[in-house]
Amino acid sequence: MKDKQLPYLFFRYCKNIEISGGVVGSFHISFVNKGKTTSRILGRYPLLNINAARMEALNQYSAIQKSKNLATKKNTFEYCGELLIWYLNFRLETAGTAIKTKSNIAHQINNILLPSMQNQKLSDLNQVFLAEKWLIPNHSKYKISTLKSSFQCLKAAFNQASKLGYAEPNPLFNVSFGDLTASKVKPKTCKIQSTDLKKLVHKISSFDPMMKMMCLLCLGYLTRNQETTLARWEHFNFNKMLWHIPAENTKTGQGIFHPITPIMLNSLKQYRVWQRYKTRSKFLFPQLRGYKSISESQAAKKVAVLSQKQFSLHDLRKYGSSYLRDMGVDYYIVERILNHKMTVLDQTYIHTSVFNIVRKELEKWHDEFF
């Protein structure tokens, strides 16, 4: 079996499990050596679990690629344009990369980075060039927040190329965006921060059933646009009262389980009855024929029209997180609901028993506006 996240990781079952001493199978890493595809065993399951196998496969594959590239000087890059185009193809072909992420990387490289850096030699890339030849000319075209995102994409490209031996040494290793400009990136303000909750919910209640349900999920669980629009009915377990958002639907790449509160359960069931009358679909928010889910841009346009541009889906996420903190909900609990990327300290704090606290706080929160 091939792993979806790492295409070069394979699992092979034992031919006879009964005589294998409890070993079910083994993990292997596949790679090309001297023009021929070969493999190497990583470990046997259950002595080596899937998470440990993925980590080991990633480390070994990176080491193999780096050694190959360091041994082949023609594989190193001379110009920034070569490196950026390679990185774009690398990310487009990487399994598990979200479509939105691929689109953003393509836009940043093709439209913001390449025009200025196409013919710039890696050996001559420094803070002066980035500030005077790239950042300043693009100030009039793009917001400072957009340029910061593009710089982060540029650093990611060089970091990946350095790990694989394409760029040695890495000229951007110690360069930060703050070194290039004194301008500060200001976070977007929430348009409805001072809006009364009852008035906000009353406005949402006037929407059509599909957009009303979408807004209630965003507000009730502080979910991101993508996490909400890609929701499927199979993700909702009404017996265990859980909503599972899989890792591939999240920005952070970590899945999450949200407790379904009794009030939200009632709304979801009513919505499902209405949806089945209109169309049969595995998605909560399908397009007209039900074969695909509504896209983020389509959802954003609908909310903008229905709310008369008073708020967006992301504003509901911000509003809900602020409201929960005003209610006195612990910071780490709000972070867990938001599904922010957790540090090692957070992961230690937020363990299984915290789920009961999350359910209790969400029940209070849903009681506030239902």
Q: Which CATH number fits domain 197-369: 2.60.300.12, 1.10.443.10, 4.10.320.10, 3.40.50.1010?
A: 1.10.443.10
Q: With DSSP H G I counted as helix, E B as strand and the rest as coil, what are the percentages for the chain, rounded to 5?
A: 55, 10, 35
**Cα dihedral across residues 124, 126, 128, 130: positive or negative:** positive
Helix (H/G/I), strand (E/B), else coil: 169: coil
Q: Structure pTM?
A: 0.62
pLDDT of residue 248: 84
The residue ranges of every structural domain in the chain are 9-73, 80-179, 197-369
What is the per-residue DSSP string for 217-284?
Answer: HHHHH---HHHHHT-BGGGEETTTTEEEE-GGGSSSS--EEEEPPHHHHHHHHHHHHHHHHH---SBS
Q: Kindly list the averaged pLDDT for each block of 10 residues, start to end, along the chain of length 370.
A: 84 75 84 80 87 84 65 66 89 71 86 91 90 90 90 92 82 88 74 89 95 97 95 96 91 88 96 92 90 91 94 94 93 90 58 80 92
Instruction: Tell the CATH topology of 80-179.
Output: DNA polymerase; domain 1 (1.10.150)
Equal CATH topology for 9-73 and 80-179: no
pLDDT of residue 72: 47
CA–CA dist 95, 6 (Å, integer): 7
**Cα dihedral across residues 152, 155, 160, 163: positive or negative:** negative
DSSP letter for 79, please.
B
Token duo for residue 224: 């991101």
- Would you state the CATH architecture of domain 9-73? 2-Layer Sandwich (3.30)
Tell me the C-alpha to C-alpha distance, in Å, between residue 260 and each of 32, 56, 73, 281. 48, 36, 56, 21
